[in-house]
Amino acid sequence: MLSKEPVKIAIVGTGLIGPRHAEAVLKEPDAKLVCIVDPNPAAEAVTQGLRCPLFKSVQEMLVSSSKPDAALVCTPNHTHVPISKELLEGGVHVLCEKPVSIDVESGRELIACAKTHSKQLLIGHHRRFNRYVVATKSLLPSLGRLVVVNGLWTIYKPPEYFDPPTDWRRCDTAGPVLINLIHEIDILHYLFGPVIRVYAEQAETQRGFPAEEGGAITLRFSSGLVGTFLLSDAVVSPHNFEGGTGENPMIPRTGKDFYRIFGSEGSLSVPDMTRWTYADGKKSWTERLECESMEVSDMKTPFELQIGHFVKVVRGQEAPNCSGIEGLRAVKVCDAIKQSMRTQQPVDL
């Protein structure tokens, strides 16, 4: 699809993420926000601010004069597949928020649906466009052979986060593994390649909801790299992606590290971007280490960069940065982690 006309885009869902995507669409000169889809009465206030039509359902939108070329699905996890299918079958390209699905089989069905209808399916792992992630990927060769990695996503979600109408977050399909860790798994895949084995110990619950609250996880990558990851949404901590990077305006920036990457020639902590190497090149624990702060270039916000990329994919100018297949790969790892938590056994992928 090559055209000089702006790509017409709809936003489906006006929860935490939908309005942020809408603002990114408004900033993209090659895109046009044509409508919002959400049956929730609270969506009316959102659309008034965005000055665009509101539809109660995807079907209502598809038969209207506001039918888009493409849509962003920003709805609860368990609705991603049925809503995305509805759009694809209606001739609309889809950028689906993560996770692509809450289980592997339905994710496969969605990917097949996009192929059948010859439409693009992208998954909203927008952190691939984060400037700290981009800088980290460019610095990895300077660390030599990558040996071990450590990651943290530790934070405190308040009680109201789980209150109606978002009490679906209490469900087993909406714990921090599928809500938050899936972002981290995708970044780890993007940086280091596929995870092939996991083992996870589940943290004890404090809330008593079906959703897990976190755990301690070990990872083995196909490259031979091994890693550990600590996950919790019920602890007081400055160590998480949002706080470290300042990406989410709702979460105060801490600047504290959430990844530590160790290689044969150096190590790197993210997002302070501190690289450690031996000063004279002689590697020994008795030698002096040199600390260097690595530069991180200014960039547009990840949501803005992702929308610009989505437009180019719809026009046939770029291949998807995160395809349905790559999005499903992260779901498979998260599914294996949840399985390991239940069985207390390692799981091979």
The string of pLDDT tens digits covering residues 121-145 is: 999 999 999 999 999 999 999 999 9
Q: In order of start, what are the domains of the chain with their CATH numbers?
A: 7-119 (3.40.50.720), 128-299+332-348 (3.30.360.10)
pLDDT higher than threshold 70 for residue 285: yes
- According to the model, what pLDDT value does residue 48 have? 84
Please provide residue 326's backbone torsions phi and psi, each rounded to the nearest 5 degrees: -70, -35
- According to the model, what pLDDT value does residue 1 have? 45
pLDDT higher than threshold 50 for residue 252: yes
| Torsion of the alpha carbons at 56, 123, 31 and 71, rounded to the nearest 10 | -20
DSSP state of 227: E
In the predicted model, what is the mean pLDDT of the chain? 95
- According to the model, what pLDDT value does residue 211 have? 95
- According to the model, what pLDDT value does residue 279 have? 87
- According to the model, what pLDDT value does residue 3 have? 58
Read off the pLDDT of each residue in 186-204 and give the average, rounded to a whole number: 98
- According to the model, what pLDDT value does residue 280 have? 84
pLDDT tens digits, 106-116: 999 999 999 99
Count helices and strands (H / E) in the chain. 11, 15
3-state percent breakdown (helix, strand, coil) of the chain, nearest 5: 40, 25, 40
- According to the model, what pLDDT value does residue 12 have? 97
Which of 327, 272, 337 minimizes the C-alpha distance to 128?
327
Phi/psi region, residue 70 (left: phi>0; alpha: psi -120 to 50; beta: rest), is: beta
Report the distance separating Cα 225 and Cα 234, nearest Å. 29
- According to the model, what pLDDT value does residue 53 have? 94
CA distances in angstroms from 115 to 127, 132, 133, listed in the order given: 25, 33, 30
Read off the pLDDT of each residue in 204-221 and give the average, rounded to a whole number: 97
Other CB atoms within a 10 A radius of the CB of residue 15 amount to: 17
Read off the pLDDT of each residue in 328-345 and give the average, rounded to a whole number: 97
